């Protein structure tokens, strides 16, 4: 049976720690629990304002825990430098708007091809797998493919926010078609943003889905059932 991998985003463990500027809750401890509860990958999003994950979180998880690390970051020289130093196993290039509460959609590639192409090439040459976070739009997917990305992470926020079955089905169809194109281009297919225990199953069942990256819903549920159970429950739902 095909296994959909689960990347668990632990940003909001760091959000809680940063609220008091304390040592706890510790992201290294969170990463250990993720790996031992069925999570395939620890995901961290390093933002320019460092409001949750700090550079030291990525360094410590890299050096103190054995397992795959996936870094989400803006496609800018500062982040490229950090990635080349810390060497996560994979990176996802995402847009970043300084005032956003969370990522607001896929990366817009028009007009940025040259700089994006360089970053993708440098990361790839360092052995880091590169994905690009895109809306389920054929032009964006083809552009990321032409720039040498290995994977596409489809942005599921419109699907997650869709109100009512009809609208949600429409958004799901866009993701399914986009997934078909990603596979036709022989790229890895990832998806994420806004996925939770209620809306995740149809996304996990998209033909060729390789990995889902999920954070907020898992960390929220962990408050009540513990991180181990929250990760294991999500893993079960996506099988």
Considering only 79, 94, 209, 230, the residue that binds ligand PXP (CB under 6 A) is: 94
Contact in structure between 192 and 214 (CB atoms under 8 Å):
yes
How many chain residues touch ligand PXP (CB under 6 A)?
19
Q: Tell which residue, 9, 83, 87, 76, has the closest CA to residue 49.
A: 76
Residue 182 interacts with ligand PXP (CB under 6 A)?
A: no
Regarding 136 and contact with ligand PXP (CB under 6 A), the answer is no
Q: Of the listed 45, 52, 188, 190, which one is catalytic?
A: 45
- Fill in the DSSP letter of residue 206: S
* DSSP, residue by residue, 51-112: SS--HHHHHHHHHHS-SEEEEEEESSHHHHHHHHHH--SEEEEE---TT-SS--SPPP-TT-
Stretch touching ligand PXP by CB under 6 A, among 142-150, 164-172, 188-196, 221-229: 188-196
Our finding on whether 159 is near ligand PXP (CB under 6 A) is: no
Q: By CB under 6 A, is residue 95 in contact with ligand PXP?
A: no
Beta-strand ranges (E) seen in 103-227 are 129-134, 151-155, 188-192, 211-214
Rg (CA), the chain: 17
Does position 215 interact with ligand PXP (CB under 6 A)? The reply is yes
What would the x/- binding string for ligand PXP be over residues 96 to 135, using CB under 6 A?
------xx-----------------------------x--
Question: Which CB sits closer to ligand PXP, 176 or 217?
Answer: 217
For position 80 contacting ligand PXP by CB under 6 A, the verdict is no
Reduced to 3 states, what is the DSSP secondary structure of residue 50? coil
72 is a catalytic site residue: yes
115 is catalytic: no
Contacts of 121 (CB under 8 A, 6+ apart): 148
CB 33 within 8 A of CB 232: no
Annotated catalytic residue, options 12, 52, 70, 72: 72
Residue 213 found at the interface with ligand PXP (CB under 6 A): yes
Beta bridge pairs of residue 130? 91
145 is catalytic: no
Residues engaged in binding ligand PXP (CB under 6 A): 9, 11, 45, 72, 92, 94, 102-103, 133, 153, 192-195, 213-217
Q: Which residues are catalytic?
A: 45, 72, 193
């Amino acid at each position: 049976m095909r296994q959909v991998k689960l990347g668990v985003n632990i940003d909001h463990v760091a959000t809680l720690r940063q609220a008091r500027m304390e040592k706890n809750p510790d992201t290294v401890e969170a990463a250990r629990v993720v790996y031992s509860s069925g999570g395939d990958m620890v995901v961290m999003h390093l933002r320019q304002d460092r409001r949750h994950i700090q550079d030291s979180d990525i360094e410590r998880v890299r050096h103190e825990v054995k397992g795959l690390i996936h870094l989400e970051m803006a496609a800018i020289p500062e982040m490229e430098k950090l990635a080349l130093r810390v060497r996560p196993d994979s990176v996802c290039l995402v847009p970043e708007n300084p005032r956003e509460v969370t990522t607001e959609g896929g990366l817009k590639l028009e007009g940025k091809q040259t700089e994006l192409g360089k970053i993708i090439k440098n990361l790839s040459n360092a052995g880091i797998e590169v994905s690009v976070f895109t809306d389920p739009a054929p032009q964006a997917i083809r552009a990321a493919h032409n720039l040498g990305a290995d994977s596409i992470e489809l942005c599921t926020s419109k699907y997650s926010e869709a109100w009512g079955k009809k609208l949600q089905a429409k958004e799901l169809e866009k993701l399914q078609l986009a997934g078909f194109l990603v596979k036709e281009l022989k790229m890895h297919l990832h998806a994420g943003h806004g996925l939770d225990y209620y809306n995740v199953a149809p996304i996990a069942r998209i033909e060729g889905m390789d990995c889902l990256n999920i954070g907020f819903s898992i960390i929220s549920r962990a408050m009540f059932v513990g991180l181990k159970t929250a990760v294991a429950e999500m893993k079960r739902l996506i099988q």
